[in-house]
Structure 1
Amino acid sequence: MHLAGRGKAAVFQRWLFGRLGAFFYNEQPMPVFILLFFSLWLLPAQADNSHVPAVSEEAAAQALQATVIDPYLELHTGPGRGYPVIYVVEKGATIGIVSRRTSWYLVVDKQGNSGWVKRENLARTLVDTGVPVVLPETRHSDFLQHRVRLGFTLGWQESAEQVAAMAGFRLSRHIGIEAEIGQLFSATTNGQQYSASLILEPTDRWAVTPFVSLGYGRQELELKSKLPGNRPLEDNFRSIGAGVNWYIGFNFVLRGEYRTLDIFSDNQTVSNDLWRLGFSSFF
């Protein structure tokens, strides 16, 4: 199952970067916020020792005990490959498995040194009975338990292509809020969108989680033709939509969504259909 998740994630990433390449091929400007978003996603996170949470004696005593069988086990300052190694536990040493964050585990050794270990590395340890330790995998339900998410989408709003980056915060297991910033590209206009939405996910019983959204925002469009009298168009809009989240592996969730936008322009309301596909990563 772990390898299947890795394959689905890789296929999606190839598709996503292919779409990004199309923007450059068509000589369309890539928004700065999109470049910053991908820089944060692709570049390894850096951290110092202060990011390692302290493990109390009580938590260490209650932790699952395991023995290292590899020559050494590296402990990182945070739950990610880019975090530096702070300690090394040698073969034969005993560690306690305290908690989990997605596919990383917080462990502590007998000297009280704590750090984060990747699931694949921690799987090569033995419990007291001499059998490999059994670790739970990151699953779709974890997506509903983490409060913070970041996302990126590509889609189409009528005849314009839309790219957007979003950040969300879960107020409860089934209710969350999202803020997003997007950019539109078409043959006649370019523009930006800003919006905030209320997200409702009514159930977590299925592998694919449906959601509905209700939002309000503003879009600013600029006509490409420089004819006399042309001016930027700035309009507010409201949106209602529905979509699905599908866990594809690690801490990535594939997102498909449809929204209808009611744009309030010059004393009239214009409706636009928005279809988009993207991903979210939860923390």
Structure 2
Amino acid sequence: MFSLRSTFLHFLCAGLLLGLSAAAAASGPGLTLPPEGVPVDAELVTVRSPYVNIYTGPGRGYPIFHVAEYGEKLWLLKRRTDWVKVTARRDKTGWVRIADLQEIYGEDGELVRVPLPDFSDLDTQHFHLGFSYGDFAGASSMGATLGYRFTPNLSVELRATQAVGDFSDSQTYQVAVLHQPFPRWKLSPYFMLGTGINITSPNATIVATEDRRDTAMLTGLGVKTYLSRRFALRAEYANHYLLTSRENNQEIVEWKLGFDVYL
């Protein structure tokens, strides 16, 4: 009886030890489980710099509420522009600048690099809306654009501009082709060529005058600066060459500042 009980206990203990060994082998050596609420596929890294400041939000204006010291583990959750959301020990979740994550190492001991945004995902966003304000030959102008991107370098825009001056008002409706030679630069220059019509309405109060409608040729250049994957500021210089029915054609220079929203 005693021998049978001892044998049973012996096999039970052996089975438990084998089960624990198999679980440990399946989990892998040195595996650190993420805190509750952290995705299991979140990348685990170890800090090898003296310290890393963790902010309550993705910006330098947010306060620092935790400092991850040398050797501390961080789980990388997601990136927003040049900030990364992380979870540290004791379930402390906050934001770290990518520039402060230059010395972090993965579980395999290899250096981990968090890439800065290069706005390459703009290639998948074909449509954009734009709004601008500027100077149209001395008159205040407001403009709107609807654009479509065919390739990373080539896009087309429908452009409408309303200019209000002391002696006349004008509306310009054009279609333009834009070429960006370096679309992934944060400061990305572009060149444009287009055509359309310009409608001039003189502000006459004594003598009645008719509106004038002229064909307009457009050339220009500008620069965009991407603030996020959906938002860009732009500055632009444009030359409008009006083919009038009078003896001389007219040239109008326009400067404008605006922004684009990618859809």
Q: TM-score, normalised by structure 2?
A: 0.56
**Letter of the structure 1 residue corresponding to residue 160 of structure 2:** I
1:250 positional shift: 5.4
CA contact (8 A) 1:138 1:251 kept: no
2 CA distance for matches of 1:204 and 1:196?
A: 21
Choose 1 or 2 for highest CA Rg: 2
Residue 130 of structure 2 is aligned to residue 151 of structure 1: yes
Runs of 4+ aligned structure 1 residues displaced above 3 Å come to 91-97, 117-120, 122-126, 131-145
Residue 211 of structure 2 is aligned to residue 266 of structure 1: no
Correspondences of 1:130-141 after superposition (within 5 Å): 139-141=118-120
Which residue does 1:279 correspond to in 2? 259
Q: Deviations over 1:158-190 (max 9, x none)?
A: 111111010100011111100011101101112
Q: Secondary structure at the match of 1:210?
A: strand
Residue 102 of structure 2 is aligned to residue 123 of structure 1: no
Q: Deviations over 1:170-214 (max 9, x none)?
A: 011111100011101101112221111011111235331111000
Which residue does 2:190 correspond to in 1? 211
2 CA distance for matches of 1:183 and 1:145?
A: 31
1:222 positional shift: 1.3
2 CA distance for matches of 1:243 and 1:253?
A: 13
**Letter of the structure 2 residue corresponding to residue 279 of structure 1:** F
CA contact (8 A) 1:68 1:124 kept: no
Q: Secondary structure at the match of 1:123?
A: strand
Residue 213 of structure 2 is aligned to residue 234 of structure 1: yes
**Letter of the structure 1 residue corresponding to residue 257 of structure 2:** L
CA contact (8 A) 2:118 2:185 kept: no
2 CA distance for matches of 1:208 and 1:119?
A: 19
**Structure 2, gaps ≥5 residues long:** 1-32, 43-77, 99-113
Q: More deviation in 141-150 or 250-259?
A: 141-150
Q: Secondary structure at the match of 1:92?
A: coil
Which residue does 2:3 correspond to in 1? none
Which residue does 2:148 correspond to in 1? 169
1 CA distance for matches of 2:254 and 2:237?
A: 6
2 CA distance for matches of 1:229 and 1:208?
A: 48
Identity of aligned residues (%): 23
Q: Secondary structure at the match of 2:185?
A: coil
Correspondences of 1:61-80 after superposition (within 5 Å): none
2 CA distance for matches of 1:208 and 1:216?
A: 26
2 CA distance for matches of 1:233 and 1:217?
A: 14
Task: Note closer, same or farther for the CA distance 1:124–1:259 as it changes in structure 2 (3 Å cut).
Answer: same
Root-mean-square deviation (CA, aligned residues, Å) is 3.5
**Structure 1, gaps ≥5 residues long:** 1-66, 70-90, 98-116
How many residues are matched? 175
Task: Note closer, same or farther for the CA distance 1:219–1:145 as it changes in structure 2 (3 Å cut).
Answer: same
1:219 positional shift: 1.5
Residue 191 of structure 2 is aligned to residue 246 of structure 1: no
**Letter of the structure 1 residue corresponding to residue 235 of structure 2:** G
Q: More deviation in 147-156 or 223-232?
A: 223-232
Q: Deviations over 1:67-123 (max 9, x none)?
A: 997xxxxxxxxxxxxxxxxxxxxx6385889xxxxxxxxxxxxxxxxxxx9959x93
1 CA distance for matches of 2:155 and 2:148?
A: 6
1 CA distance for matches of 2:229 and 2:123?
A: 14
1 CA distance for matches of 2:198 and 2:138?
A: 15
Task: Tell me: higher relative CO, structure 1 or 2? Use CA pairs within 8 A at least 6 residues apart.
Answer: 1
Q: TM-score, normalised by structure 1?
A: 0.52
1 CA distance for matches of 2:198 and 2:34?
A: 56
1:256 positional shift: 0.9
1:248 positional shift: 2.5
